[in-house]
Structure 1
Amino acid sequence: MTRKLQTIGFDADDTLWHNERFFKLTQDRFEDLLSDYSDASQLHDRLIEAEKRNIGHYGFGVKGFVLSMIETAIDVTDGAVPGHVIRKILDAGQDMLAHPIELLPHARMAVETLAQSHRLVLITKGDLLHQERKLAQSGLGELFDDVSIVSDKTVTTYRSIFDPLPGGSEAAMMVGNSMRSDVVPAVEAGAWGVFVPHDLEWDLEKADAPQNPRYHAIEDLGYLPALVTDIG
């Protein structure tokens, strides 16, 4: 008998390992550096606006974030930002690229358990080299049958990944911490979407939960194997 669920896709950052905490720490450093020119709240809003504008140019990830910080620093200082501040922003970005990988609770157990029975696919956004490095350091790479590092996660993205696999999108599940990127478009593509909340959430990844029977939410990855078993 063919299983209803044959393929499980996992997001990487803040689903399998910590990531947003490093963006938050760097943003705090950025606000300290520019405290003479702008209050933290205004600077936060200006940075978010820069990130929105720049996603289409730089994509997702640390490099685009650093360039958006530099652009924001130039804007809020009317071009007078000191060179040493730019240097510190660049240093902060390099620190982010070098941070060690720390798996989230139950991530290894969930991936190892489900790799025994299902096809696993890692689907993540971000810089190619950085994401490849993080996957290698995580120790989880060999458990995935395929890895897709994409520019964005849309309905078309998920269909292009899931449809060619056995059972297509209807026999696939996407697991992640972003409602906007991991859950909503996957459900719209015909797959199951499983939301695993993280304590920190990037403003640009927020969205309403889909009103669909294929949507599920779990507290952490420790609950995922049981959910997969229930689906069948």
Structure 2
Amino acid sequence: MTVTTIGFDADDTLWHNETVFRLTQERFASLLADHADTDHLMDRLMAAERRNLDHYGFGIKGFVLSMIETAIEVTEGRVPAGIIAQLLEEGREMLCHPVDLLPGAEDCVRSLAETHRLVLITKGDLLDQERKLALSGLGDLFDGIEIVSNKTPAIYTRAFEMHGDGAARALMVGNSMKSDVIPAIEAGAWGVFCPSEIQWALEAAPAPEAAPRYRRIETLALLPGLIASL
């Protein structure tokens, strides 16, 4: 069946995102260097992020709260107020960070917008994702925008029915096997994995190699050609 609708992930598919988090983690490690070594601190931070996802969701605000929680833990409740203030400032800087498009992203989206319905399907904080989309210059190219708390087969089913001809005639591309590829395939769409330079550990999952509708590309520049071959 011809693909008529294409879903795009946003963070680390269209623009850099995880690099901003990694820079903040480095500053976090520097601030807490007198209280914990970097590896131990990062392990504790990852554990905090994992258990807080159901409470805070995805995005910068939840990340900052997890850093503060980790700082309290590793200092046994004695973290200086100045460090807490600095972590809050780091979060504000993240929320103001410029949007840096990934190579080939703009050309890919503009090209496919001429022939297909495009839907942005992304997780994260509503205000931050809206800000990044506006700054990206790509917003007007999408026929639909879905900013969701999580990505599940039901989310993809609804999005592709609302903005297209259903999941069977849709394709989802993104850098997360766990969120962008597997649930889209389970909904009946094509799932295309486009790996990012830095992968967040909580988004990793084995590739569904046996799935007939699974594909992998190394750059978005290859997406139009892949779609034409399906």
Render the CA deviation track for 1:11-54: whole Å, top value 9, x for unaligned: 00000000000000000110111111111111111111101111
> Which structure 2 segments of 5+ residues have no match?
none
| Residue from 200, 204, 212 that aligns with 1:202 | 200
* Matched ranges for 1:83-232 at <5 A: 83-210=81-208, 211-231=210-230
AA partner of residue 77 (structure 1)? T
Q: CA deviation at 1:175?
A: 0.5
Render the CA deviation track for 1:159-186: whole Å, top value 9, x for unaligned: 1111344431010000000010000110
AA partner of residue 197 (structure 2)? D
| Residue from 5, 8, 11 that aligns with 2:9 | 11
Q: TM-score, normalised by structure 1?
A: 0.97
- Aligned equivalent of 2:50: 52
AA partner of residue 35 (structure 1)? A
Using a 3 Å threshold, how does the CA distance of structure 1 residues 125 and 166 change in structure 2: closer, same or farther?
A: closer
8 Å CA contact 2:182–2:191 kept in 1: the answer is yes
- Aligned equivalent of 1:22: 20
Render the CA deviation track for 1:80-133: whole Å, top value 9, x for unaligned: 000000011111111111110010000000000000010000000000000000
> Which structure 1 segments of 5+ residues have no match?
none
Distance 1:208 1:168 in 2: 26
Using a 3 Å threshold, how does the CA distance of structure 1 residues 49 and 189 change in structure 2: closer, same or farther?
A: same
Distance 1:28 1:213 in 2: 40
Q: CA RMSD in A?
A: 0.9
AA partner of residue 214 (structure 1)? R
- For these two proteins, the number of residue pairs brought into alignment is 229
Q: CA deviation at 1:156?
A: 1.2
8 Å CA contact 2:164–2:170 kept in 1: the answer is no
Distance 2:58 2:85 in 1: 22
AA partner of residue 226 (structure 1)? G
Identity %: 60
AA partner of residue 118 (structure 1)? H
8 Å CA contact 2:160–2:166 kept in 1: the answer is yes
AA partner of residue 219 (structure 2)? D
Runs of 4+ in 1 over 2 A off after TM superposition: 163-167
